Amino acid sequence: MSEARTWVRAVRCEDVPLREGRSVNLGGREIAIFNLGDVFLAVANQCPHRSGPLADGIVSGRMVVCPLHAWKVDLETGQVVRPADTLTCVERFRARAEEGSVLVELPVESSAKVSSPRPEQSQLAPFLHL
């Protein structure tokens, strides 16, 4: 039986510069969202090596290089590609751009934890951590 999932607005597209990542907290999960120009990709924001913040890494093609120890993660598959003998993956999340926002697909139980912003804040401000 598959887990129920829903799309959650995560960040404005303009807040994720081209070829960079940004960290957001959605449903208690720290997620790195990357703007590759033609697509937004999202993965867990922790390198499996020493929990380095992948959102702060250097983007190269469809890969990100962890800023701590240079582990290289494929953003489309979540697979660690360097070091080559590593059989570890990073959790991936489906992401899409819609009406100027990046939406991320989360399990229903996690999306229920996403709190509503205060009325004076923009709709996405509480989720963006620059």
pLDDT attached to residue 113: 61
- Domain covering 5-129, topology: Rieske Iron-sulfur Protein (2.102.10)
Whether residue 105 contacts residue 113, with contact meaning beta carbons closer than 8 Å, is answered with: no
Q: Helical H runs in 7-129?
A: 108-111
- Average pLDDT over the chain, rounded to whole? 86
Question: Between the CA of residue 102 and those of 7, 48, 77, what are the distances in Å?
Answer: 10, 25, 19
pLDDT digit string, tens, across residues 76-100: 999 999 998 888 899 999 999 999 9
> In this structure, what token pair is assigned to residue 120?
């004076």
**Exposed, middle or buried: residue 30 (CB in 10 Å: 0-12, 13-18, 19+)?**
middle
